[in-house]
Amino acid sequence: MHEPTPKLIIQGNSPLRGKIRISGAKNAALPVLCAALLTGDDVRISNVPRLMDITTMLSLLEQIGVNVESAGPSEFVLCAANLTNLTAPYDMVKTMRAAILVLGPLLARAGEAYISLPGGCAIGLRPVDQHIKGLEAMGAEITIEHGYIHAVAKQLHGARIVMDIVTVTGTENLMMAATLARGTTVIENAAREPEIIDLANCLIAMGAKIHGAGSDIITIEGVPTLHGAEHCVMPDRIETGTFLAATCATGGDIHLTETDPYLLDAVLDKLTECGARIETGDRWIRLKMQSRPKPVNLRTAPYPAFPTDMQAQFMSLNCIADGTAVITETIFENRLMHVQELKRMSADIRVEGNTAIISGIPRLDGAHVMATDLRASASLVIAGLVAQDETVIDRIYHLDRGYEAIEEKLSLLGASIQRVNSP
C-alpha cells in the first residue's frame, strides 16, 4: 500500500485581498539553530517558522545531543551542553541541504564532525567545496569517504579565505567555525544576503566578535567560548515576495505585516515595473494591482541583485503579462524545470540555455501539474490562482519545506485552495 500523498486543488480567477502576517525566514532560522552548537548554554530563538526543513533540522540537532524545548508556537530553547553524537546521517541530510551547516560549529566546538554530503532540491550541483576549502585553511583535516565528510581539528586557527564563488551556506559555515578559532579570520568574496547579517547578529549576541557582515569582506576575531543568548529570526523576504507576486498576478490588494521592505529592493522595483502600486512603512508593505501585469525582464544574481528564489514566481507573473519578457537564471543550472509544468497550463515559454522567453497570454488553463522544487511549487500556486478552471498540484511537500501555512494564508486572502490526500 502506498501512503496517501497530499495535493493542492486551486480554483483560479479570484484576486487576493486582505492582510496577513509574514513568518520568520527559513533561510535565516536554519543557520541560527545550528549556532546553538557553539555553546553549552541555553539559546532562545523566536519567530521560527513551522516548516518541514525546520523540523528536520531540530531532529538532527537532537540526534547530535542538543536538548530542544518548545517555548511557544514559534519559539525554541536549545541547549548543546552534551554533544553525544558528532554525525549527521544521510537519512536526515538527504532531504535538506542546509544540514551541512552543522559542519562548521561542530568542528569548532567538538573538534570533529562526520557529515553526509547534502541533498535538497534538484536545482543544481551546489558543491560544498568552498566549505571544505575554508575549513582546511583554518587547520582542519578533511577526508570524503563513503559519501561522508569527515573533518577533524584539535583547534581551528584564523585564516584569510577568498571564496571562489559567492556561497551563502559556505559563508555561514565558515563564520560559525571562525567564532571559536584562535586568531582572526577574514572571509573575502563573502555572501551579502540579509540572512548572513541575521546570523551575525545572533552570534554577536552570543559573544562573538564579527565585523563586516552584509559586505563582501567579513572579519571574525575568535574567542575562547560563546554564551547563551536570545535571538528573533528576521522576516522571510522570499515568502513576502511570493505573496506580492501572487497579488500582482491576480490583480488584488494585499497588506503584509511583520515584514521588512528594505530586504526586497530588487523585487519591489520589478513589481512596480509590472504596474503595481506599492506603499511601505515600518515592518509593512501594501500592494495594489488594478490592471494586467506588464512584462518584466530579469536576471538572477547574488544579493542585492534579483534573487534566484523569486525567479519562478516572476515566471508565472510574466506568463499572463501583456507582452514578452526574458528571464535569465545565472545561479543554478537546473532552475527552469517549472517551465514544462507551466506549459501544461498553456503558457507560451521558450527556453534557450539558461534563458526563458515568455510571451504573455490573457489567462492560463487549469491543469494537473507537479512541483519539482520549493520555489517551482510556489510558481505553480501562482499560476493556479490566475488560471481558469481547476489546477491540481502534486508533490506539494516541496511547499511545506519553505512556506508556513500557505493554504491558510491564501484562504484568508480569498483564494479557493484546499489540500487533499490521494492514494
Three-state secondary structure call for residue 386: helix
Rounded-to-integer distance, Cα 314 and Cα 365, Å: 18
Cβ(13)–Cβ(388) below 8 Å:
yes
Going by C-alpha positions, the residue among 199, 220, 196 that lies closest to residue 208 is 220
Separation CA 242–CA 235 (nearest Å): 13
What's the CA gap between 383 and 83, in Å, rounded? 46
Report in angstroms the alpha-carbon separations of 291 from 248, 272, 321: 9, 12, 10
Enumerate the β-bridge partners of residue 160: 186
Task: Please answer whether residues 287 and 257 qualify as being in contact, where contact means their C-beta atoms are separated by less than 8 angstroms.
Answer: no
The one-letter amino acid at 92: M
Distance, in Å, from the CA atom of 183 to the CA atom of 324, rounded to the nearest integer, reads 54
Residue with cell 567579513: 218
Cell of 290: 488594478
Phi, psi of 219, deg, nearest 5: -115, 130
Measured CA to CA, the distance from residue 249 to residue 207 in angstroms comes to 45
Q: What is the rounded CA–CA span in Å between residue 21 and residue 249?
A: 20
| Helix (H) or strand (E) run with residue 157 in it | none
* Nearest to 267, CA basis, from 245, 292, 282: 245
> Amino acid identity of 131?
H
3-class DSSP assignment, residue 243: helix
Burial class of residue 3, CB neighbours in 10 A (0-12, 13-18, 19+): exposed
For residues 181 and 108, is the Cβ–Cβ distance under 8 A?
Answer: yes
Half-sphere exposure of 152 (CA within 13 A, CB side): 4
Residue numbers annotated as active site: 121
